Structure 1
């Protein structure tokens, strides 16, 4: 079914005035203002709170000679998707024994459990422990105990939140600690912001959250900012992830991100692969690069040539994006990336030629 009423195309039109919607920046300002008005200065200051640790399950780490991963989960929203997480856990432990998970978060949930991801993870088979670390400052990436826990774990899950905070850990010990988990046959993953941080090109949103309309009207908009060199997972090179994909109508901005990655040389070989996952969807990626989708749809968006026009202050023109739409149970081979099964969509003067979420697959490719 089309995500738009009556199968209408989304209103990606560069001719219309673009209104700024720095969503999470506005939300942060409003939250701070309300805290002051309520006399909640202490609450408002929690963003600078000390790093916190909550461990569920066994107090002793699992111990064994080797692990069978790596494995990854890429989720369209922040919550753990049991189907894909179970596949990742089973792949890493080789179907026997149990392992330890660390959840990394940049803020504490506003209500309910302080460990929502670990609450879900500890209900799965094969889990020895799950430790939630809330790290609110860039310097927290050098927290000695946090890094010890990460290195002793077999899976690191990045919670939803603000990927700009996560990219700030690039210059800290945490980055190498997470890499060590994957290198020993463990895994990494996350949802929403945690999905973004696991691609090779990270849309970091450090200046504000950009909409599809804004990105297509100007792919060099000041809100279109990227971090590279954070992680480079096996078989997942040249990717730029996006989340909440259909619900928040993010195909257009992923198209712009892909064009930018190609134009600016952020990826290799003159190609960039957008990976957009809808809320409730999750890609499990095994050690051979084979991704299997659970839940809601996912899209892989390939740009394999230079954009016809991608310059600051002007709307994007890019012909023939190759788009694979994945439904639950479908696979996509990131090691041996397919050359067929896609449909084509173009952007001309900042406008997509038709509804980009649906198309007829090309035959004879």
Structure 2
């Protein structure tokens, strides 16, 4: 009888056991602040303090939640005291499994945060624990409705693009990927996890030049373009380098250049008609050459002030960086000096423009326009070309309520003319 009772008690204890560990530093009472949206991408190996200060300042003194699947409270004192930025609290959750991720208490704290940080580790843990459940919903609501700042380092950075390397079957080296772009280890997810403004059709990578991952991300982009029939984009960081993207899409690069080779890389498949890889099949070395210009790359040195930047609203405007052309021929990767693809200039339609006044911008629900020329139709696109349904309530009002937060391109058409505008949906 005692054995039966003991087994029963053990089973009850296991049933109620938490599937996470919590570490709290600071005030346990939630507060609300005038936080700002943003993204912080960290290359791994160590935090870049100036970028971390930027990340915390976006929270405007609010609450920071750190999500991780291994480790302990290493970020708590670092965020709360070491950087000199006042915040209300840092709360780390070490999540053991999917049950821990969807625990109501954990979800409540995620919803109440002003900033969320993903630690390094194994990104497949995050994919297993956070995807296709209530945690995924909570994160996307935080990003797009609450518009808090989000970021991550190493594995935490790897999950922040709309496309992502899952690491389900372990890590992947450039030589293996280049020799077989559909190798089982080249496991990718497409547009089914986090929905982050400015990260559509983007795949991220960390520990970049330090681990010779240029070939690997090139294969990831080739795969994305081939599998989805779309131009692909990539963002990568060397170790100790960080990219901070503000609510307007300006990606500032932080690091300690020229003392160290701390660079960020902004990659895009060339904006030409034939941009797809020439050869991309199982068990064969990849060829993605396209005249030596298959991938256009803006390479940006990181500085303590984050002065150098790249504009993710057009993928062609930047400061402080240099352009490179990357290509692959029969599994051999090449990088040479290159030129700006000027995709926006090349793709401008041959229409006359007409004068339109558009307001408010940023907008929450309705855009109003004034034009002497009648507007016959409209189209709305994401900054990377995805078209969204658009509804004109009348000749002067456009309903943008269904759109998620982010930057959009609005095209207005008259009988003979076209005008293009950018607007921000809050």
- TM-score of the pair, normalised by structure 2: 0.67
User: Is residue 292 of structure 2 the alignment partner of residue 323 of structure 1?
Assistant: no
Unaligned runs of at least 5 residues, structure 2: 1-16, 256-261, 343-426
How many equivalent pairs are there? 300
How far did residue 173 of structure 1 move? Answer: 1.1
Residue 78 and residue 135 in structure 1: after superposition, are their counterparts in 2 closer, same or farther (change >3 A)? farther
Q: Structure 1 pair 101/68, CA: closer, same or farther in 2 (3 Å)?
A: closer
Paired residues for 1:247-262 under 5 Å: 247-262=210-225
What's the secondary structure of 2:108's corresponding residue?
Answer: helix
Which of 338, 345, 354 pairs up with 2:316? 338
Q: Which has the higher contact order (CA 8 A, sep 6+)?
A: 1
| Equivalent residues of 2:316, 2:340 under 8 A apart | no
SS of residue paired to 1:52: strand
* TM-aligned CA deviation for residue 186 of structure 1: 1.0
Question: Aligned-pair distance for 1:49?
Answer: 7.9
Alignment of 1:282-301 (within 5 A): 282-295=242-255, 296-301=262-267
Q: 1:156 to 1:79 in 2, by over 3 A?
A: farther
Cα distance, 1:150–1:78 mapped onto 2, change above 3 Å: farther
User: Is 2:137 the partner of 1:176?
Assistant: yes
Q: Which runs of 5+ in 1 are unaligned?
A: 1-47, 109-113
Does the 8 Å CA contact 1:240/1:257 hold for their aligned counterparts?
yes
Aligned-residue RMSD, C-alpha: 1.9
Contact 2:285/2:330 (CA < 8 Å) preserved in 1? yes
Equivalent residue number for residue 156 of structure 2: 194
Which deviates the most, 199-208 or 299-308?
Answer: 299-308
Alignment check: 8 A CA contact 1:99 1:128 kept: yes
| Structure (1/2) with the larger helix percentage | 1
**1:53 corresponds to 2:31:** no
- Alignment deviations for residues 7-51 of structure 1 (CA, whole Å, 9 cap, x no partner): xxxxxxxxxxxxxxxxxxxxxxxxxxxxxxxxxxxxxxxxx9831
* Farther-moved stretch of structure 1 (206-215 vs 174-183): 174-183
| Residues 84/158 of structure 1: CA separation in 2 closer, same or farther (3 Å cut) | same
Please list the CA deviations of residues 252-296 of structure 1 after superposition, one character each: whole Å capped at 9, or x if unmatched: 10000000010001xxx7211111111100100100111101012
Alignment of 1:208-357 (within 5 A): 208-228=170-190, 229-265=192-228, 270-295=230-255, 296-304=262-270, 305-319=275-289, 320=293, 321-328=295-302, 329-338=307-316, 342-353=323-334, 356=335
Give CA deviations for 1:130-171 in whole Å, capped at 9, x if unaligned.
Answer: 000000212222111111111010111000001111011112
Q: TM-score, normalised to structure 1's length? A: 0.78
Q: C-alpha deviations, 1:299-338, integer Å up to 9, x for none?
A: 1221241111111111110022111111013201111211
Q: Distance between the aligned counterparts of 1:364 and 1:336, measured in 2?
A: 11
Q: For residue 61 of structure 1, report the CA deviation from its aligned partner.
A: 1.4
Which entry has the higher C-alpha Rg, 1 or 2?
Answer: 2
Who is 1:13 aligned against?
none
